[in-house]
Structure 1
Amino acid sequence: MRSILLSSAFLAAIATGAAAQDTPYSPGDVVNFLVDSADLGLNRGICIGTAQECAPPEPQGMDMLINFELDSADLTAEARENLAVFAEALKDERLNKARFVVEGHTDARGVEGYNFGLSEERAASVKTYLSELGVSEARLTAVGLGESEPRTGDALDPENRRVELRIDLQ
């Protein structure tokens, strides 16, 4: 499965590599990022050149702050605000067919089995909130990954307590 990451720190750089912004992204920013980064069947063309010249660019992540407090699957106010922007973006007709995998993560505190369950609860919490905002549950698949994929080199870093949204390009 190919996917494009909308990861978990909304105020960092978008695909352009721009510096962190003081204001959150708009729904239009999210739509443009997804349309520009993903082959959603909107653009077709022929490339004449080497395989390297014609290869599509590697998609960059778009950071959205969907972090959690220690031992919690409750959405923070900031996470709710950012998910509301994401839900609004999904109303754009260019994204009608887009499906997303909602990946829950934890830091390495606690035992592995507990962390796996907590990561599932976090993913479910985001999926539920997005569905409350009008996103069809059929467009969202929630999975828990526990502590298996830390975002930083420090497995105990609070930044690892997050949910990441990936557009499913199957």
Structure 2
Amino acid sequence: MIDALMPSQTRSLRNLVVRQRTEAASAPAQVPLPAPAPVAVAASAAPAAPANTTPGEAPSLALAIQFEPNSSRVRPASGAVLGSLVAAMQSPELKASRFIIEGHADGRGAAEHNLRLSQERADEVRLYLVALGVHPSRLRAVGKGASAPVRPGEPAAAENRRVRVVTVE
């Protein structure tokens, strides 16, 4: 995850999938969640979509963050992925970087509704990251609606509902 978000032109790791390891000794450190938080860290992680692969674009990583249907509430199953993202953002390699948290929606529903929902989801992920220790000045939330689908031929595809983290150099 760190390599995918590194602001460098020589990154070699471009297609990253985040998975929790099954061996206790190799499991990533769990980031504790503050007690009054709206979501809980779960035992399983949702996979990440491939990182951006277009030369010249800012480093980014699309995460499969799960939300309640038609809601900005993060499902507990996404806690481990968000915990891993916080750990990457707090690493020495990324500690000075800033990020844009983009919320994306599928093409179902009215464009205005999708834009509002994607902004609310990006805001919710930003709040989660701040609650786990990322300084708020390093994060900006932006809703994109259904304007940039991963699968344009299938507007309702689940892959179009995602959160993308973009490194700002």
**TM bracket, shorter-chain basis:** 0.5 to 0.7
Give 1:157 shift: 0.9
Q: In structure 1, what is the Cα distance between the partners aligned to 2:159 and 2:14?
A: 23
Q: In structure 2, what is the Cα distance between the partners aligned to 1:150 and 1:111?
A: 15
Q: In structure 2, what is the Cα distance between the partners aligned to 1:88 and 1:21?
A: 12
Partner of 2:102: 103
Give 1:5 shift: 7.0
Aligned to 1:113, what secondary structure does the other structure show?
A: helix
Q: Which runs of 4+ in 1 moved over 4 A?
A: 24-27, 56-63
Partner of 1:15: 13
Q: In structure 1, what is the Cα distance between the partners aligned to 2:156 and 2:62?
A: 20
Partner of 1:159: 159
CA contact (8 A) 1:66 1:164 kept: no
Give 1:152 shift: 1.4
Give 1:71 shift: 0.8
CA contact (8 A) 1:5 1:167 kept: no
CA contact (8 A) 1:115 1:147 kept: yes
The structure showing larger relative contact order (alpha-carbon pairs under 8 Å, at least 6 residues apart) is 1
Q: Which letter does structure 2 place at the counterpart of 1:67?
A: Q
Residues matched between the structures, number = 131
CA contact (8 A) 2:103 2:121 kept: yes
CA RMSD of aligned residues (A): 3.2
Kindly tell me: are residues 159 and 144 of structure 1, through their superposed partners in 2, closer, same or farther at Cα, counting changes over 3 Å? Answer: same
Aligned to 2:146, what secondary structure does the other structure show?
A: coil
Q: Which letter does structure 1 place at the counterpart of 2:95?
A: N
Partner of 1:65: 64
Partner of 2:34: none
Give 1:64 shift: 3.1
Q: In structure 2, what is the Cα distance between the partners aligned to 1:132 and 1:21?
A: 21
Give 1:108 shift: 1.2
TM score, norm. by length of structure 2? 0.65
Kindly tell me: are residues 124 and 168 of structure 1, through their superposed partners in 2, closer, same or farther at Cα, counting changes over 3 Å? Answer: same
Matches within 5 A, 1:18-167: 23=20, 26=28, 62-153=61-152, 154-167=154-167
Percent identity, aligned pairs only, is 33
Give 1:78 shift: 2.5
